[in-house]
Structure formats: C-alpha cells, structure tokens
Amino acid sequence: MNMLSNFSLFSTARVLVVEDALTLVTQYRIHLQTLGVASPVVASDVAEALTQLDLGPWDLALIDIGLPDGSGFEVMQRLLARWPECAVVVISGLESMDLAVQAAHAGALDFLQKPFQPERLIITLRNALQTASMSRQLKGWTTQKSDRFYGFIGRSEVMQSIYLTIQTIAKSHAPVFVYGESGAGKELAADAIHQTSERAQRPFVPVNCASIPLDLIESELFGHVRGAFTGAHADRDGAFVLADGGTLFLDEIAELDIQVQAKLLRVLQTGELRRLGDSRTKIVNVRVVCASHRDLHACVRNGTFREDLFYRLHVIPLTLPPLRERGQDILLLAHHFLKLYAKQEGKQLEGFTPEAQSVLLRHPWPGNVRELINTVRAVVALNSGDLVDLAMLPSRVKNEIDWATANPANKVSENDIRITPLAELERLEISRALNYFNKNILNASQALGIHPSTLHRKLKSMNFDSNRI
C-alpha cells in the first residue's frame, strides 16, 4: 500500500499508547506518524491508562505488559470490555511472554516481543490499523446482504465480512495472504481480489508452488532464455512477466524451496527480475496474493520459510472460514449446485428432503465447498426423482446420523467403542480411494474432496508405499 492511501485511511484513527519507556514511545510516535496517525494519546502506567480509557472510542491500542505499577494485561481487559472493537497490540519483554500469550487469547490482535526490528513494528501497526479501519467500516455497513460476490455464493455473516474485506483490500497494492482449509475457496478469493481491483483488465496468473517440480519452479516464476539449462530450447517468460500489471497468485507458498524463496524476496524488494540465463533485468509491476493451508508462523519457527519473506508477504491476512462455520450457506450452495448439475444431466432433482438437509447441515465438511460440490454432483449422477432424500446421500456424509439416531442397533456400550485416531482414518480413507480409482491421483483426490497437490503432499508426508495400497 502506498503512503497516500495510508494517510487517507488512518488519519482519523484514535490510538492509545501505554508504555513507560520514553525511547519506545518516541519510536511509536514516529512510525504512527509515517502511517498517517497524527497524535496518539500516551499513558505511562496502569493508573494513567485507566483514566484515559474513558476518553475513547479507541481504534488501536499499543499496550506494554510490564508497567511500573502493574500489568498491561489489566489495561487490555478493561479496554476491550469498554471498547470491544479496538484493535490491541501487546508488547512484552521475554519475561512476560506467558502474559502476552494470555493476552492474545483474551482478544489481543497481535503481539510484539522486545526487542523488535522497525520493519516488524511498521507491519504490525499497519495491519492493526487496517483491521481497525475495516471493523469501523463493517459497523457502518448497512447495505443489503448479498448472496453472491464474484465467484462466491454465501450470505452468512462470516462471508459478508469476507466480501467487505476483499472490497476494501482491493484498493490497495499490498500483498494479501489467504488462509483457509482445503477447498474453502482460497483461489476464488484471490480471483475476487483481482477482479475487484483496478488490475482487473490485466491477467490473473495462478502458480501452484506444490505441484511444480523443484527444477522447474524457478523458470516457471521468473522465466528463462534459450540454453539456460538442458531442455531450454527457446526463451520463455515466467509467471511474473505474464502477470505484469495484474495479479500473481502463489498457491501453497509454504512449499516453495528455500533457495527460490531468496530469489522471490529479491524480486519483491526491487521489482526487478532476471530470467534464468539472462544478463538483463526487467521491471515488473505485479500484485502478489499467496495462499497456504499451513500455519506459516510455524514454518518460520521451524526454519522452512524465510522470516523476511514472510513479513513481506504477510501484509494483509485474509482467513476464509471453514464451510461448517457458515450455517445455512451449506444449503444455499447445495441447492445451487443441485440445480446446476440436474440441468446439465437432464434430471428433475430440485431440492432436498428435510432429513437430507439436516444431514448436510451436520456433516463437518472436511473438504469444504469442494467436497460439497463433488457430493452433490455424484448424487445427481447416480439418482433421479424430485427430491434428494437420505438414502441418496453417500454414507461418508451420513455417518454421524446413522450412528447416533437412524440406526439404534449400532449403539454399543461405551466400553465397546474403539476410537480410531483421525490420522489413521485419513490414511485408511486415502488408501481406499487410491485402491478404488486404480491409483489415479486426480480421481482419488476429487472423491476425497481435496486438491491433487494436497493428496500428493499427504502421500509424501505419510510415506505411503504405493505397492501396499
């Protein structure tokens, strides 16, 4: 995001700083000013902070945990009780880490551990201000709820706030990091970000970092010139050049090789890239959107992802809720895809019986929207009639219902129940799917409701012996 848009976005933000170290207060003032916040209110201990609280509403509070007359934790609790929408960043020394974690659980948005780099501080402040400004907009948002937003279908509150967030961040050029379970719509979100932005007329280029072999990924991203390596028969532009002026979607970014991460960081820092084997550089203007099903913080901690790259990419996080948390959206989606596939297949199916609906609402949908789509598609292909009833739903979806209510004979005493570890169930189900589809990864992954690259990764991490499937 450029400075100008920061100024207009954050200039009205009301910021409270609770910190006793003067040098840090000065640092916060300077960085907040750079982001457009004119004058934060400063309190240097708990007592002063508590008297300032009432002067809110506050959009953002930076609270040090170790204060001379008590803990910043208390300030944070009182602040959030009074101003629940305030974004809180807690700051702690090593000795107060436990409290900082507690604060995060109690609703703090982020925490900074002293000592920290200025770059980390700026990113934290910018994210917090952005969140605060979005929750302000959300509060004042009175327009009609929409069932659709670009490729998305869904009218739940959680999805409304996703639509709003996408609209808000589309105006910025900052990188977006999309989180979400498999099949939750991460690629759809990246596409919607592109479509809503002023880059919409330029290309949207998706690259799946998990599915491209290591020796090809560099050339895929940055391109190569003829003769750069064996097999490079002609010059080729990479995804960065293809996406020039538009949006580059780096899917499964956590899987990117560490050497390639260094190159990517350089391109993002300088905006310049060099094709493999080329001596010239080229300037590109690309907005990057990334996604991963992994917790990237954990990848940074265990050393598989560069921290500097993480902070460069992790400017605006966007987390898609799992389908099971979207309530009636499940039925909205099921109806939509039922109609679509029934039309395609020339069938009459036009709805679900009440029992079938309650099964759909209770299923946890581990494969999210993709699993729902595939389930409906299979139901349409295999059945006819007006309504989809319980018998037409696959047992995978009905399982919990069959077990608990529909089939009392299945009830066993508590002592008889052998609980299977989820990992074992997953392994078993993957092995069944591969067996059934003759080891065809594409078909098996579709049936499992996951992306083929996700299945590849799982097989790798499980050390699957394909001869034993």
Applying CB under 6 A, the residues found at the interface with ligand ATP are 151-154, 180, 182-188, 293, 333, 369-370, 373, 450-451, 454
Partner that binds at residue 454, options Mg ion, ligand ATP, none, CB closer than 5 to 8 Å by kind: ligand ATP
Minimum gap (Å) between residue 179 Cβ and ligand ATP: 9
DSSP for residue 174: S
CA angle in degrees (0–180, nearest 5) for 406-411-412: 170
Among residues 170 and 290, whose Cβ is nearest to ligand ATP? 290
Among residues 246 and 367, whose Cβ is nearest to ligand ATP? 367
Task: List Cα–Cα distances, 169 to 156, 201, 246, in angstroms.
Answer: 20, 17, 15
* Omega within 30 of 0 (cis) for the link into 115: yes
Minimum gap (Å) between residue 160 Cβ and ligand ATP: 12
Among residues 152 and 177, whose Cβ is nearest to ligand ATP? 152
Give the DSSP letter string of 233-281.
Answer: -S-EE-HHHHTTTSEEEEETGGGS-HHHHHHHHHHHHHSEE--BT-SS-
Exposure of 192 in the CB half-sphere (CA atoms within 13 A):
23
Minimum gap (Å) between residue 71 Cβ and Mg ion: 43
Q: Which residue is nearest to ligand ATP (CB)?
A: 185
Among residues 108 and 184, whose Cβ is nearest to ligand ATP? 184
Minimum gap (Å) between residue 329 Cβ and ligand ATP: 7
Q: Which of residues 178-197 bind Mg ion (CB under 5 A)?
A: 186-187
Among residues 186 and 224, whose Cβ is nearest to Mg ion? 186
Residue 255 binding Mg ion, by CB under 5 A = no
**Rounded-to-10 torsion of CA 15, 19, 25, 31:** -50
DSSP for residue 406: I
Minimum gap (Å) between residue 396 Cβ and ligand ATP: 18
Q: How many residues does the chain have?
A: 469
Partner that binds at residue 445, options Mg ion, ligand ATP, none, CB closer than 5 to 8 Å by kind: none
Partner that binds at residue 227, options ligand ATP, Mg ion, none, CB closer than 5 to 8 Å by kind: none
**Spatial contact of 136 and 159, defined as CB atoms under 8 Å apart:** no
Among residues 59 and 187, whose Cβ is nearest to Mg ion? 187
DSSP for residue 95: G
Minimum gap (Å) between residue 396 Cβ and Mg ion: 22
